[in-house]
Amino acid sequence: MNNSQFFTDNLPFFIPLIILEVGLMLTALIHVLRHPHYRFGNRIMWVLIVVLLQIIGPIIYFAFGRESEA
């Protein structure tokens, strides 16, 4: 099986995964850019983590980076 066959066979799995990844990244990126305070690090660090680590980056940001809004 070649790579293009593998991709076309698994396309129904890849499309929702890509949509989830882009949605999480955009949500986290908007939150990083709108809020000036973070639990750890600074804005540049969180933008790089969110963009470069794909699905894991936004999850790390929402779990550890954003400051509680109390």
Residue 69 has phi, psi (to 5 degrees) of -100, 75
pTM, two decimal places: 0.78
C-beta separation of 25 from 57 below 8 A: yes
* Domains in the chain, number: 1
In a domain, residue 70? The reply is: no
CA-closest candidate to residue 29, choices 19, 12, 44:
44
In a domain, residue 46? The reply is: yes
In a domain, residue 17? The reply is: yes
- What range does the domain containing 55 cover? 3-65
In 3-state terms, what secondary structure has residue 64? helix
Using only the alpha carbons of the chain, give its radius of gyration.
15
Tens digit of each residue's pLDDT (9 = 90 or more) over 20-70: 999 999 999 999 999 888 888 889 999 999 999 988 999 999 898 887 665
Average pLDDT over residues 14-20: 92
